[in-house]
């Protein structure tokens, strides 16, 4: 614990930088300056003054107006096994084992289900931008009956999400998007990069087969990948060119 | 097929049913008398409820079982399944620098708001003050915010039934079990 002094400085810096930082990825993804960004497999998310958590069949709400004193506001039941949560405008897109559920946050303390897109049992994180959501469906434990594919959903009407395209995958896990680029983790099989200039007719531009990946966080021109072997960081550009910056290896 | 069925004499049908019945009875008996079935399955590994509440900040350590990630500003947080959170100073992504490990038993997810980290800690949701790293201060603990992990995260498997009185299940080990009573 020699580094305590250093740590203190660092943590103070976190607070200062976050309070003062009104630019950059954090504010573009999440309106509250004091929060960051999670990957697509996250079960926790913050929208304004509320912390939302999905857990098995419930969507829990905590009031965090006073950050130090979260208050349990109860839960909303979901008719499916929920695994991931993605904030989208004033809504939450919840990935479950049997479909994507959309909850509206007009009453932030009481999310209301307004739409659902159901499918066969699969694991499925979701990300979205504009009028489209991307959902990966994965076979394998704990979702043994599923297909392996990426579904593109038209969510221009949130009350009526529609499947517009399915792209076969090997064994997709987390995913992330930044502008016209979509990243899809293929588990032990690698990491795929797609161009989504046309958001429906996505085109694979890269397949990094040696990068075991389970989830990604795309920042401005930078990608953080988490996987069995460690944490990878890449630079990327609009042409989907990827340049490895570092790899933090896992201790075996 | 329909024609053939109609032609099949009743006598044979009865005999067939009789033998089928005997066969079924026998197979049930065999199951009952089977001794100590040894199969591969999942065994719960417990941590006591008092132990699981021990949250602390420790020196940085190497990555192991990295799972979910979270980014804020120049900091990257990496969850180590059921163990806690690696804090990495990532201002230069070419040289990410691990600076601390926040030990949170039974942790898989985090969120941040200002200087508060929200984390699952076994059955509980905790709010931790991350402004004073000398000692982790738990600002609030919301008890039983999460359900008890009654079964392993796999399907079509046998496992030793979890016993809530023994503590929280931090992991499931795949081992040879004798007569496991639970399956899913």
Residue B26 backbone dihedrals phi, psi, to 5 degrees: -60, -45
Q: Which of A7, A26, A141 sits opposite B133 (nearest CB)?
A: A7
Q: Between A184 and A27, where is the model more confident?
A: A184
Q: Which of A43, A144, A224 sits opposite B69 (nearest CB)?
A: A224
**pLDDT score at B36:** 81
Q: Searching chain B, which residue's CA lies closest to the CA of residue A39? A: B69
CA dihedral A13, A17, A20, A21 (to 10 degrees): 180
Sign of the C-alpha dihedral computed for residues B83, B87, B92 and B95 taken in this order: negative
Q: Which residues pair with A52 in a beta bridge?
A: A45, A61
CB pairs under 8 A between A and B: 187
Task: Taking residues A79-96, report their average pLDDT.
Answer: 93
d(CA A166, CA A163): 8
Contacts of A245 in chain B (CB under 8 A): 93-94
Q: What percent of chain A has pLDDT over 70?
A: 83
* Helix/strand/coil for A108: coil
Supply the ipTM of this predicted assembly. Answer: 0.86
For A19-69, the pLDDT digits (tens) are: 333 333 233 333 344 889 999 999 999 999 999 999 989 999 999 999 999
Which are the contacts of A224, defined by CB distance < 8 A and separation ≥ 6? Answer: A216, A217, A218, A231, A232, A233, B69, B71, B76, B93
Q: Could you say which residues from 106 to 135 on chain A have a Cβ atom under 8 Å away from some Cβ of chain B?
A: none
Does A1 lie at the interface with B, CB-CB under 8 angstroms?
yes
Q: Searching chain B, which residue's CA lies closest to the CA of residue A7? A: B133
d(CA B87, CA B147): 27
Could A141 and B114 be called an inter-chain contact, meaning their C-beta atoms sit closer than 8 Å?
no
Contacts of B68 in chain A (CB under 8 A): 38-39, 41-42, 215, 226
* Helix/strand/coil for B13: helix
Q: Searching chain A, which residue's CA lies closest to the CA of residue B92? A: A245
**pLDDT score at A21:** 35
d(CA A10, CA A4): 10
For A201-222, the pLDDT digits (tens) are: 999 999 999 999 999 999 999 9
Structure tokens at A188: 């032990």
Q: Which of A26, A70, A230 sits opposite B66 (nearest CB)?
A: A230
Going by pLDDT thresholds of 50, 70 and 90, the confidence category of residue A16 is: very low
Does A29 lie at the interface with B, CB-CB under 8 angstroms?
no
CB A215 within 8 Å of CB A41: yes
Could B98 and A248 be called an inter-chain contact, meaning their C-beta atoms sit closer than 8 Å?
yes
CB A95 within 8 Å of CB A135: yes
**pLDDT score at A145:** 63
A125, A248, A252, best to mutate vs chain B, most B CBs in 10 Å: A248
Q: Which of B58, B95, B111 sits opposite A35 (nearest CB)?
A: B111
Does A16 lie at the interface with B, CB-CB under 8 angstroms?
no
Q: What is the mean pLDDT of chain A?
A: 86
A29, A54, A70, A183, best to mutate vs chain B, most B CBs in 10 Å: A70
CB A216 within 8 Å of CB A40: yes
Q: Which of A51, A55, A144 sits opposite B111 (nearest CB)?
A: A51
For A106-154, the pLDDT digits (tens) are: 999 999 999 999 876 676 799 999 999 999 988 765 555 668 899 999 9
Does A68 lie at the interface with B, CB-CB under 8 angstroms?
yes
Q: Which residues of chain B have pLDDT under 70?
A: 1-34, 132-134
| Cα–Cα nearest to B120, from B83, B155, B93, B90 | B83
- Does this model's pTM top 0.80? My answer is yes
| Cα–Cα nearest to A179, from A157, A149, A199, A161 | A199
Could B93 and A18 be called an inter-chain contact, meaning their C-beta atoms sit closer than 8 Å?
no
Lowest mean pLDDT among A76-80, A225-229, B154-158: B154-158
Q: Which residues pair with B84 in a beta bridge?
A: B80, B103
d(CA A143, CA B31): 30
**Is the pLDDT confidence value at A6 over 70?**
no
* Helix/strand/coil for B154: coil
CB A52 within 8 Å of CB A75: no
Does A19 lie at the interface with B, CB-CB under 8 angstroms?
yes
Q: Searching chain B, which residue's CA lies closest to the CA of residue A219? A: B71
Could A38 and B95 be called an inter-chain contact, meaning their C-beta atoms sit closer than 8 Å?
no
């Amino acid at each position: 614990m020699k580094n305590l002094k250093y740590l203190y400085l660092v943590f103070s810096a976190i607070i200062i930088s976050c309070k003062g930082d009104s630019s950059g990825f954090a504010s573009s993804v999440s309106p509250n300056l004091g929060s960051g960004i999670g990957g697509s497999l996250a079960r926790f998310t913050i929208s304004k003054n509320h912390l939302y958590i999905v857990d098995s069949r419930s969507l829990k709400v905590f009031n965090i107006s006073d950050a130090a004193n979260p208050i349990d506001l109860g839960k909303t039941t979901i008719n499916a096994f929920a695994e991931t949560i993605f904030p989208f405008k004033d809504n939450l897109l919840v990935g479950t084992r049997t479909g994507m559920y959309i909850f509206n946050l007009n009453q932030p303390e009481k999310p209301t289900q307004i739409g659902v897109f159901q499918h066969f049992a699969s694991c499925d994180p979701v990300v979205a931008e504009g009028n489209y959501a991307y959902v990966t469906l994965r076979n394998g434990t704990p979702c043994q009956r599923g297909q392996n594919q990426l579904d593109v959903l038209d969510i221009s009407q949130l009350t009526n999400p529609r499947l517009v395209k399915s792209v076969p995958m090997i064994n997709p896990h987390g995913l992330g998007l930044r502008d016209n680029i979509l990243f899809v983790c293929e588990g032990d099989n690698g990491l795929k990069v797609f161009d989504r200039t046309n958001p429906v007719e996505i085109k694979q531009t890269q397949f990094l087969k040696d990068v075991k990946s389970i989830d990604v966080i795309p920042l401005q021109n930078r990608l953080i990948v988490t996987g069995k072997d460690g944490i990878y960081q890449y630079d990327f550009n609009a042409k989907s060119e990827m340049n490895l910056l570092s790899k933090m290896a896992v201790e075996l | 097929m329909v024609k053939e069925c109609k032609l099949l004499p009743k006598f044979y049908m009865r005999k067939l049913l009789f033998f089928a019945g005997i066969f079924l009875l026998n197979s049930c008996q065999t199951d009952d008398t089977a001794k100590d079935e040894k199969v591969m399955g999942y065994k719960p590994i417990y941590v006591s409820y008092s132990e699981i509440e021990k949250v602390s900040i420790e020196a940085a350590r190497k990555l192991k079982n990295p799972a979910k990630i979270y980014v804020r500003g120049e900091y990257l947080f990496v969850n180590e399944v059921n163990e806690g959170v690696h804090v990495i100073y990532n201002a230069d992504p070419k040289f990410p620098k691990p600076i601390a490990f926040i030990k949170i038993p039974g942790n898989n997810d985090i969120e941040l708001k200002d200087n508060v980290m929200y984390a699952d800690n076994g059955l509980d949701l905790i709010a931790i003050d991350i402004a004073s790293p000398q000692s982790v201060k738990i600002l609030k603990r919301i008890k039983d915010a999460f359900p008890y992990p009654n079964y392993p995260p796999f399907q079509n498997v046998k496992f030793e039934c979890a016993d809530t009185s023994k503590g929280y299940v931090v992991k499931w080990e795949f081992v040879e079990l004798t007569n496991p009573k639970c399956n899913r």
